Structure 1
Amino acid sequence: MITVIVAAHNSEHTLGAALTALVPAAIDGIVRQVIVVDGGSTDQTAKIADLAGADFISNAPGRGRQFAQGAARARFPWLLFLSADTVLAEGWERSATAFMRSVDLGERSPAAAAFAFRIDDNGFRPRLLERLFQMRCKLSPMPYADQGLLISRQLFDAVGGYQDLPVLEDVDLARRLGRRRLAMLDAHAIASSELYRRDGYLSRSLRNQICHALFGLGLPIKVIARLYRADAAS
């Protein structure tokens, strides 16, 4: 049984689709609780969450902080973390259930899982980006928040959960889990293309990779955050 934790911020245009994708699994009893943790929205995010029957928590912005707050309210043994602009593809619950069963029955060692990356845009550039994500995940399964994260409560607590970082909280948690405790599911998480279209696919991708490399080298996270969000100042 899963608690889904959704980090939102001014997400009125995407949250409805993200929550709708959870409905079949909720009907089947797989998803038992949905928590939307909001980072100070000024739009209709709260109303959409309420209409969907989700628990709603108001918090300060910061995805790591929001995810941690949602996890603190979770009532079920598996946690699924999603961004409000990520929509799980039809049938995702079958892959998730098979993975959870294998862990619960001891058929595999405790691990977390992420979904295959897809982006909601047409053309050569989004397909190339998807292919690059696929290659990266095969070489090093270190998923990003756009791919969701399915993890047992026990393992989540054991590795220390999400930290209150301004950026790269997903990479930080993935590093603490390590490659051996990360798996890729065959179902897709469909991410918003808004940032890529706004900043440019090449520019956004390069910026992301530079930030990840600097994080691995131990550069202070506040410095990395300024580079990651450089577009906000322009």
Structure 2
Amino acid sequence: MSTLSIVIPVLNEAARLPACLAALQSLRARGVQLVLADGGSQDGSPALAAPWVDLLVHAPRGRARQMNAGAAAASGEQLLFLHADTDLPQGADAMVSKALRGGASWGRFDVLIDGRSRWLPVVAFGMNQRSRWTGIATGDQAIFVRRDIFDRVGGFPDQPLMEDIELSQRLLAHGLRPAFLRPPVVTSGRRWDERGTWHTIVLMWALRWRYWRGESAQSIWEAYR
């Protein structure tokens, strides 16, 4: 049985997948299981990924549903959820194993954002600091968790947005604080580049505020779209 399974939710990521999966092959060679959870891609993503992963899962569209399906099919005692546009630091498998075997139940990495805006380092710094203060992790930070704990809290909620925040809150409600790994993952700044940095910052804070106030994830998703 693989100790660590990396679950990658994908929807039409053919342009990004080769670089993403090539970077993970050294981990795969060390016994890490790669699980790709496809949500109905129309660009050939599953066929492209098949030779590079250990398990290909077809799931209903939606990041939470895809990650839950991938986790259910994975064999690892430890789970790491990785976006296709995010790269792990070298030795990430050893870092995760050390954290989870050292007493942590779950955790996340710091994040850097790769994009055009000079403000993105400031955005990443703010994300990392906010996460330390609140214990809330985002999907961009490559959340990892012990399988038994993930199952105990019911996995990701079946909602179209804020599934990472809700999972964090479920774990915190059980008295489980995350491990914060400083070696950063590097995630794409494409949404900041496409929408504008400050517009995206304001939008995301507004959506989080609405979620905190109790609005449904569905209504927030519609506003985001």
Gaps of 5+ in 1: 103-107, 230-234
Q: Distance in 1 between matches of 2:36 and 2:128?
A: 29
Task: After TM superposition, give the deviation of residue 97 of structure 1 in Å.
Answer: 2.5
Amino acid at match of 1:188: P
Name the Cα RMSD after superposition: 1.6
Structure 2 partner of 1:20: 22
Q: Distance in 2 between matches of 1:92 and 1:22?
A: 10
Task: After TM superposition, give the deviation of residue 126 of structure 1 in Å.
Answer: 1.2
Amino acid at match of 1:174: S
Q: Distance in 2 between matches of 1:72 and 1:138?
A: 29
Contact 2:8–2:35, Cα closer than 8 Å, also in 1 = yes
Contact 2:7–2:36, Cα closer than 8 Å, also in 1 = yes
Structure 2 partner of 1:216: 212
Q: Distance in 1 between matches of 2:100 and 2:219?
A: 38
TM-score normalised over the length of structure 2: 0.92
Task: After TM superposition, give the deviation of residue 50 of structure 1 in Å.
Answer: 0.8
Structure 2 partner of 1:63: 63
Q: Distance in 1 between matches of 2:12 and 2:219?
A: 25
Q: Distance in 1 between matches of 2:177 and 2:48?
A: 35
Q: Distance in 1 between matches of 2:22 and 2:157?
A: 28
Task: After TM superposition, give the deviation of residue 123 of structure 1 in Å.
Answer: 4.7
Structure 2 partner of 1:148: 142
Does residue 171 of structure 1 match 2:165? yes
Contact 1:49–1:55, Cα closer than 8 Å, also in 2 = no
Contact 1:4–1:80, Cα closer than 8 Å, also in 2 = yes
Gaps of 5+ in 2: none
Q: Map 1:35-184 onto structure 2 (within 5 A).
A: 35-102=35-102, 108=103, 110-178=104-172, 180-184=176-180
Deviates more, 1:14-23 or 1:58-67: 14-23
Structure 2 partner of 1:9: 11
How many residues are paired up? Answer: 221
Q: Distance in 2 between matches of 1:23 and 1:97?
A: 18
SS class of match (1:5):
strand
Q: Deviations over 1:37-95 (max 9, x none)?
A: 11111113112211213311222211001011111111121111111111112232332
Q: Deviations over 1:137-196 (max 9, x none)?
A: 232231111111111111001111111101111111011111742121122211111111
Contact 2:35–2:53, Cα closer than 8 Å, also in 1 = no
Q: Quick one: structure 1 residues 220 and 84, their matched pair in 2 at CA, closer, same or farther if it must change by over 3 Å?
A: same
Amino acid at match of 1:182: P
Q: Distance in 2 between matches of 1:190 and 1:131?
A: 13
Q: Percent identity?
A: 28
Q: Deviations over 1:75-134 (max 9, x none)?
A: 1211111111111122323322221221xxxxx2x5211111111225521111112112
Deviates more, 1:142-151 or 1:220-229: 220-229
SS class of match (2:150):
helix
Q: Distance in 1 between matches of 2:98 and 2:26?
A: 16
Contact 2:25–2:52, Cα closer than 8 Å, also in 1 = no
Q: Quick one: structure 1 residues 93 and 191, their matched pair in 2 at CA, closer, same or farther if it must change by over 3 Å?
A: same
SS class of match (1:124):
coil
Amino acid at match of 1:93: D
